[in-house]
């Protein structure tokens, strides 16, 4: 049975992934950590520890204490916050990753860390962006993500650490809201549709970005980590996307369920320029071929599901 350390376990991905992995691998086998403790099922349902990933030996000590064989390193700043606080982003996103890699190297652990569509830049082809293509991002987040991909490749080829990663698109969930991302509008719009039947988008009409519903993202992480290593030609990181839309397209889908829903625009120049530098639609063929990536939710199916779940939550 696996024993897994999760950093950033109270974040958007971590809070759902931790619970799902506890169901699969056993409640005591998933060690959730975060920089602070909040009210959460993650804290209640199994081991939880405070961990600052930027503290040099802290991750190693935690991984050693629990004798884990896998590290899922999720603690990081997202794109819009990283653009506001670039030095903090460098320190947290790169410092945390190198500490996770060192712990994995010393303790012989498998390691997962997410990359992002943000690893691409304005000179990358925007449509059906291939797996292997020019990556010259113009954001601090993107610089962190490309460096992280390269660093994970280096730890694999130099030290044999079993590093694996995914280039995630915007992740949409009704459980834990994201914070500080460029794609967050695609989550907020559902909450506002239920609460106020209107939403003002900070992303302009016609700006297409890749997205994925959280259940597909969780399955993708677990499937990749379980995949036969001999089949993986790419490790860090696979393009994965389930859909691509702009604000008008998601609004039209919401209007099928809430006809009076109104979408307005008040564009935020910082997040708009980040979005403009990213692809419209990436190509996930390598992930499909090498480990069977197969997302279940498109925009239509996700919208139906998320609106019904949010209604049940009576937000």
**Contact status: 78 vs ligand AKB (CB under 6 A):** yes
Q: Kindly tell me which of 46 and 114 has the beta carbon lying closer to ligand AKB.
A: 114
Task: Please report whether residue 79 would count as binding ligand AKB according to CB under 6 A.
Answer: yes
Q: Per rule CB under 6 A, is residue 244 in the interface with ligand AKB?
A: no
Residue choice 46, 181, 247, 279 for contact with ligand AKB (CB under 6 A): 181
Q: Tally Cβ neighbours within 10 Å of residue 91.
A: 13
Say how many residues touch ligand AKB, by CB under 6 A: 12
185 has catalytic annotation: no
Nearer to ligand AKB, 103 or 117 (CB): 117
Do 100 and 7 touch, CB atoms closer than 8 A?
A: yes
Alpha helices in 160-294 (DSSP H): 185-195, 214-226, 247-255, 269-276, 285-291
* 306 sits in which H/E element: helix 299-313
Site for ligand AKB in 99-118 (CB under 6 A): 116-118
183 binds ligand AKB (CB under 6 A): yes
Distance CA 118, CA 141 (A): 7
- Closest distance to ligand AKB from the beta carbon of 79 (Å): 3
What CA–CA distance (Å, rounded) separates 200 from 202?
Answer: 7
- How far apart are alpha carbons 35 and 199 in whole angstroms? 32
Chain centre distance of CA 137: 18
**Minimum CB–partner distance for residue 107 and ligand AKB (Å):** 28
From 25, 27, 66, 141, active-site residue:
141
Cite the active site residues. Answer: 141
Binding site for ligand AKB (CB under 6 A): 78-79, 116-118, 141, 168-170, 181-183
């Amino acid at each position: 049975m696996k024993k897994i350390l999760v950093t950033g376990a109270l974040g958007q991905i971590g809070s759902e992934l931790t619970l799902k992995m506890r169901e699969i691998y056993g409640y005591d086998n998933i060690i959730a950590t975060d920089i602070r403790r909040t009210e959460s099922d993650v804290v209640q349902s199994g081991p939880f520890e405070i961990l600052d990933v930027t503290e040099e030996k802290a991750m190693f000590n935690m991984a050693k204490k629990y004798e884990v064989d896998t590290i899922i390193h999720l603690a990081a700043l997202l794109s819009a916050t990283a653009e506001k606080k670039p030095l903090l982003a460098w320190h947290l996103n790169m410092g945390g990753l190198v500490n996770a890699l060192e712990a994995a190297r010393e303790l012989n652990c498998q390691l997962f860390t997410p990359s992002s569509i943000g690893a691409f830049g304005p000179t990358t082809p925007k449509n059906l962006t291939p797996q292997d293509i020019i990556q010259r991002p113009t954001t601090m987040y993107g610089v962190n993500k490309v460096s992280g991909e390269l660093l994970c490749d280096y730890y694999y080829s130099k030290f044999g650490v079993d590093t694996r990663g995914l280039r995630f698109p915007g992740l949409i969930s009704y459980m834990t809201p994201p914070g500080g991302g460029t794609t967050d509008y695609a989550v907020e719009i559902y909450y506002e549709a239920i609460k106020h039947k209107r939403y003002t988008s900070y992303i302009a009409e016609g700006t297409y970005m890749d997205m994925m519903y959280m259940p597909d993202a969780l399955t993708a992480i677990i499937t990749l980590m379980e995949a036969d290593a001999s089949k993986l030609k790419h490790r860090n990181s696979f393009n994965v996307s389930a859909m691509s839309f702009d604000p008008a397209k998601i609004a039209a889908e919401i209007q099928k369920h809430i006809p009076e829903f109104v979408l307005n625009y008040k564009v935020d120049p910082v997040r708009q320029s980040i979005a403009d530098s990213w692809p419209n639609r990436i190509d996930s063929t390598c992930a499909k071929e090498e480990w069977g990536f197969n997302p279940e939710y498109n925009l239509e199916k996700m919208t139906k599901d998320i609106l019904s779940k949010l209604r049940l939550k009576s937000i």
